[in-house]
Amino acid sequence: MAKMVHSCIRVLDDAKSIAWYKAAFDLDVADQLDFETFRLTYLSNARTGFELELTVNKERTAPYDLGDGYGHLAVVVDSADAHHAAMSQQGLEVGDLVDFAPGGTLVARFFFATDPDGYKIEVIQRGGRFV
């Protein structure tokens, strides 16, 4: 049986991204591997064994083209409202809170936050299938 362990995103400034993910989701550096042309930083916290890998290609100066797909990371929080307010107070870019209720049944309460490289992170309130 396979176990998912991390997902990678490419960033221009890992120090800036590390600070953002710490402020947004209390993720800390679990490990960092520095090579001649690139650096890998693994972020995690005590609530999950899953890690976010930040990859810096040292000679790159232009932002990455994120494309027109709708790939994203998602995190679960106890209260979408409280997390939205906290992120807003820190000056982090957040979208509107959304109640996703097709057919009148609430499936999820969520919002999207945008990290320093333009990646969209879905922040979902804990409940239902999102525990």
Q: Shortest CA distance to 110 belongs to which of 129, 91, 26, 118?
A: 129
Is 53 labeled as catalytic in the residue annotation?
no
Q: Shortest CA distance to 77 belongs to which of 130, 23, 9, 5?
A: 130
**Exposed, middle or buried by CB within 10 Å (0-12, 13-18, 19+), for 92?**
middle
Check 36, 53, 59, 122 and give the catalytic one. 122
Q: Can you tell me the distance from the alpha carbon of 4 to that of 29, in angstroms, rounded to the nearest whole number? A: 18
Residue whose tokens read 């997902």: 7
Length of the chain measured in residues: 131
Planar angle of CA 126, 5, 96, nearest 5 degrees: 35
Q: Which residue numbers are catalytic?
A: 122
